[in-house]
Amino acid sequence: MNYDRTYAEIDLGAIRRNAEAIKAYAGKRLIAVVKADAYGHSVVPVTEALRSVADMFAVATIEEGVSLRQAGIHEPILVLFSAFPEQAAHIVEYRLTPTIGDWEFANKLNKIAASTVAVHININTGMNRSGVRWTEAAQFLTRLKTLDRLEVSGFFTHLATADEVDKRYVFVQLERFSSVLEKISNGSELIHAANSAAVLAVPGAHFDAVRSGLSLYGVYPASEKPIELEPALTWKTRIGWVGSISEAEGVSYGLTYKASRQTRIAMLQVGYGDGYPRALSGVGEVLIDGTRRPIIGRICMDVSVIELQPKDNVSIGDEVVLIGKQGDAAITVDELAHHTGTISYEILTQIGTRVKRIFNY
């Protein structure tokens, strides 16, 4: 029995099966992207569950890499963004694989390293947010060779439009990447470019390894669905109060909802302080007994209100599904993203720390 007001059930078996399916589909090595607390799924249990499948893990920051090492993860960990020079010591101390995207950090890392450090080079082929510009990559590599402690063990690029229907710019980026690799690769480095969208939609982007994030968690980045993925997260809350209002009475801050007749309502123990988007006010739906009920009025920091049907037999403490399946009904992460004008990535990573994660193996 669990008495938490709101909790997310994480199906670690589903995450592992998704990873296996993605890896088998690409037929390449898998770099499992577990940044931002594994997209809200809790990074340590997720990483442990993926140990047998992933060839490498990727995080966004040095701090994320350090906390994985402190949790006993000894597999290779790629830090996707160039660190600040003052963080170079952590790379060495925690045996992280840094991304090199500028000279200053490379130089600093070389200075403090006592032995060889394996690094990946980020080649900017048109995403234009990080990395060495493709036109300057050959020159950069020549200069990097003067830093004798750094060993280039990987080259990668990141695609800006792999999730769009029009893939023309993807091929422009891949052509830039391939032509520069011809000049700078000796054939031994790990070459990677594909995020989830490119893994599922652009086989020409697979190279030696694929860098999957979102799809590991069973959410598709775009319309292409060549393999079956299982959503890994179910988000639940519980009923905290049941009431009844008369015609023309309002609900919650601003009384934005007005009852058109005698209406039974219930309060849910979840609000925007838990990452349940306030933009779902008046438009979101939840599941009770396998059927949908609308969110009415404004979502508050800690609680929300739904409209009940006259026949609903609900009590305080009953389970309500915000994301996931209940009976034959389901509410997807994409549905919440659609209602709130954002992307699934943001919905997942905003699920707050007050939401207890419970793991199924």
Minimum separation from the CB atom of position 179 to ligand PLP (A): 20
111 is catalytic: no
Across the strands, what pairs with 209?
29, 192
CA distance 62 to 45: 19
Minimum separation from the CB atom of position 221 to ligand PLP (A): 5
Minimum separation from the CB atom of position 258 to ligand PLP (A): 41
Q: Which two tokens stand for residue 68?
A: 């994985």
Q: Which two tokens stand for residue 276?
A: 């349940």
CB-wise, 47 or 195, nearer to ligand PLP? 195
253 is catalytic: yes
CB-wise, 212 or 269, nearer to ligand PLP? 212
123 neighbors 180 (Cβ within 8 angstroms): yes
**28, 35, 167, 236: which one is catalytic?**
35
Which of 133, 146, 68 has the alpha carbon at shortest distance from 102? 133
**111, 145, 225, 253: which one is catalytic?**
253
Q: Which two tokens stand for residue 75?
A: 């597999």
User: Which residues 6+ apart lie within 8 Å of 121 measured at CB?
Assistant: 99, 100, 101, 131, 132, 137, 140, 141, 144, 152, 154, 155, 156
Minimum separation from the CB atom of position 80 to ligand PLP (A): 4
Cβ-proximal residue to ligand PLP, closest one: 213
CA distance 151 to 1: 52
CB-wise, 210 or 267, nearer to ligand PLP? 210
Length of the chain: 361
Interface residue list for ligand PLP (CB under 6 A): 33, 35, 80, 158, 195-197, 211-215, 221
Which of 59, 14, 51, 16 has the alpha carbon at shortest distance from 34? 59
At 272 the three-state DSSP class reads helix
CB-wise, 4 or 224, nearer to ligand PLP? 224
Cα–Cα distances in angstroms (integers) from residue 246 to residues 262, 293, 306, 320, in the given order = 4, 19, 15, 24
CB-wise, 106 or 199, nearer to ligand PLP? 199
> Pairing state of beta strands 285-288 and 97-100?
unpaired
Q: Which two tokens stand for residue 297?
A: 């009025």
Minimum separation from the CB atom of position 248 to ligand PLP (A): 47
Cα–Cα distances in angstroms (integers) from residue 179 to residues 81, 138, 172, 183, 316, in the given order = 23, 11, 11, 7, 63
User: Which residues 6+ apart lie within 8 Å of 220 measured at CB?
Assistant: 196, 200, 214, 229, 334
131 neighbors 157 (Cβ within 8 angstroms): yes
CB-wise, 181 or 321, nearer to ligand PLP? 181
Minimum separation from the CB atom of position 128 to ligand PLP (A): 13
CB-wise, 213 or 275, nearer to ligand PLP? 213
Which of the residues are catalytic? 35, 253
